[in-house]
Amino acid sequence: MMIDRKSIAAYEGETVHAALTAAGIKRLNHSKSNQARGIFCGMGICYECLVTINHIPNQRACMTLVEDQMEVLTDES
């Protein structure tokens, strides 16, 4: 899996959230006042974990399963 153009270890079937957390990536985007945002609820309710997956923006990392050749971009890239 590629995250912000860097390869990280991930397993097909785990959530993008799990892969990012395992890789030590906590900051995924920022608020309008430039405060760090990342995983909060982990169950698709809060929308704090929005990332771009395979060129599709605003995907929830906590609800999306890792697939082969997946590319993820955070707002921090």
Domain boundaries defined on the chain: 2-73
pLDDT at 77 over 60: no
Stated pTM of the model: 0.88
pLDDT at residue 75 in the model: 83
pLDDT at residue 32 in the model: 84
Q: In the chain, what's the furthest Cα-to-Cα distance?
A: 35
Q: Output the CATH code of domain 2-73.
A: 3.10.20.440
In 3D space, the residue among 32, 34, 28 whose CA is nearest the CA of residue 53 turns out to be 28
The encoded tokens of residue 42 equal 């982990």
pLDDT digits (tens, 9 = 90+) for 14-55: 999 999 999 999 999 888 888 888 889 989 999 899 999 999
> Taking the mean position of all CA atoms in its chain, how far away is CA 55?
13
